[in-house]
Amino acid sequence: MKGLFLLVPVLTVPTPSSLCTPLKTINDSLSHRRRYMKHNFPINYGIRLQSEEIFKLSNISWMRVNVESLDELTLQRLWFQINQGILKKLIRVMPERHPSRRYTAELETRFKDAEGVFVQAYPAEVFQRELPESVQDIWDQLTEEPEKVSSWRYATPKSLMDNLCHTMHCLFSQCFTTQAQHDYCGTTHWRKGRKNKKMQLEAGKKPWR
């Protein structure tokens, strides 16, 4: 195990540009998230998730500081793993004729496409590397049987898609840079983006805060 680890070069590779196209497609879909992930659901409707499935900018900044030998690729893998699971769960709670079902199914397809490109872009050994212990723990929790999950959280579909969007801009910033080089990983960037007080109040009501 250790030997294999040593053979793999340290990863400082940039985000492959091939990945930017499918990620931008996801970004385009996400621009309709208010309509499909908020308006078509009852007020404050929350979907039940494992606590490890809540993956926000604050998790990324916390992990960058606290997890030893954490690389960007690991965070990106975690992002794919978590959000794919979330999209699956969202689809599962929607009846066949739910007005957001097609939107969500399409988003999931686009997500799978992006993951395919992501996996193809690196040599297979990269995905067999040992993960930092705390990340492996999260990974194990994510694949745990429902009856063994120790801690559940409720989150609104819109908030989950907001998290997906913000963390995507942070972790794949090379695909989303504009001339004005924002720091997409800084939470304040997104706070500033909020248009008015009412929206901030809404955010304050969300059950997991």
Ligand X SMILES: *[C@@H]1O[C@H](CO)[C@@H](O)[C@H](O)[C@H]1NC(C)=O
In whole angstroms, the minimum distance from the beta carbon of 59 to ligand X comes to 4
Which listed range, 46-54, 83-91, 115-123, 196-204, lies at the site for ligand X (CB under 6 A)?
Answer: 46-54
DSSP labels for the chain? -HHHHHHSPP--PPPPHHHHHHHHHHHHHHTTHHIIIIITS-TT--EEEEGGG---HHHHHHHHHHSTT--HHHHHHHHHHHHHHHHHHHHHHS-TT-TTHHHHHHHHHHHHHHHHHHHHTS-GGGGGSPPPHHHHHHHHHHTS-GGG---EEEE-HHHHHHHHHHHHHHHTHHHH--TT---TTSHHHHHHH---HHHHHHHHH-TT-
Contact residue for ligand X among 45, 80, 154, 176 (CB under 6 A): 176
The site that binds ligand X (CB under 6 A) totals a number of residues, namely 10
CB nearer to ligand X: pick between 40 and 59 = 59
Contact residue for ligand X among 16, 24, 46, 89 (CB under 6 A): 24
CB nearer to ligand X: pick between 54 and 171 = 54
Show the site string, 121-140: x = touches ligand X by CB under 6 A, - = not.
Answer: -----------------x--
In whole angstroms, the minimum distance from the beta carbon of 139 to ligand X comes to 9
- Binding positions for ligand X, rule: CB under 6 A: 24, 27, 31, 51-52, 54-55, 59, 138, 176
